[in-house]
Structure 1
Amino acid sequence: MEWFFVALAIIIVIVILWAIAQYNRLITLRNLVQEAWRQIDVELQRRHDLIPNLVETVKGYAKHERETLEAVIQARSVAVEPGSSHAQQAKQENVLSQALGRLFALAENYPDLKANQNFLELQRELADTEDRLAASRRIYNANVRSMNTKVETFPTSVVAGMFSITREDYFEVQDAAVRQTPNVQF
């Protein structure tokens, strides 16, 4: 009978050690997701800082294109508001991306603007920032995938449920136009 209690104690210790290891892994994954989100935040802030300079440069050349410029400024104002969830911020950033796309399309109508060094430099910096943002989003989404897989698969899901560790949201493109294949004509 004594060996039964020893075996039971060993099994309980193993289960407790396993639960602790799974909990620690979930916390590590949650911290990786949060770190990845902070990197996105850094790149978004850089993007938000570049936009006013870009708008001011364009204003001098495209004075009668007020609606497009105001749309960019409004989208930026909404995007920089604190307190948004990851999903809300992703939607706000998608609106800003669309407004910036219209701004760059507008610039095509002004050859002098396209040749302006300040505009070209801002456009290049914004393109670099967009590339870094895309890389940060990929890292974030990879971390979210790992986290969600752990949270949803058994038996780790039991530990996640015990400690209220939940799924994270992916950073997704909401704009249907971005998802479409471009039409190329020669």
Structure 2
Amino acid sequence: MVPPLVLAQPAQSTSARAPAAAPAAKAARSVLVMGDSLSAGYGLAAAQGWVALTAERVARSRPGWRVVNASVSGETTAGGASRIAGELQRNRPSVVVIELGANDGLRGLQLAQSRANLERMILAAKAAKAQVLLIGMRMPPNLGKEYTAGFERNYRELSRQHGTALLPFLLEPIALDRSAFQADNLHPIASAQPKLRDHVWSVLGPMLK
């Protein structure tokens, strides 16, 4: 989401047998997070967001893994779909976390287009041999029952159709606690981020094997 109103020795002679070379260090496998301001940590210090906290946990508990946060405040599914090829090529992730769609919903963009963009991202990630974790959101009821229901249904159906992992609602642990949000009532405060990390980890953790 966006701010209010819109949601990095020479070779030995053959007479002597050279010692076996030490095996090269195995490259770290990566988790690529592509999200909006909820994942970019809008309004927070760099180390406070749920993605940064997840990266700390990964460093401690999952040797050989790292987290790359390619989230952008204000990002839409169209933006994510246009960027994913480059991010996949640059980072070669083993897992791709897609947390997008909230800004589409807040702008009332067509559900079919949002779904197509998310599907494009999922297919690109799977073509790159990456596992996918799709993280959903919910829209405020003032957008209408049909729109809000269709918005949530997009995530469920895409996950089922393409066999991805699914976290239906990122903000579920804090959604009913208004004190967990910044003044804009959209972005969680720093003290709420560990709850989001733990919520995501319940699905992401088992994927990092």
- TM-score, normalised to structure 2, is 0.21
**Larger helix percent:** 1
Which structure's CA Rg is the greater one? 1
Task: Name the structure, 1 or 2, with higher relative contact order (CA <8 Å, separation 6+).
Answer: 1
**Larger strand percent:** 2
- TM-score, normalised to structure 1, is 0.22
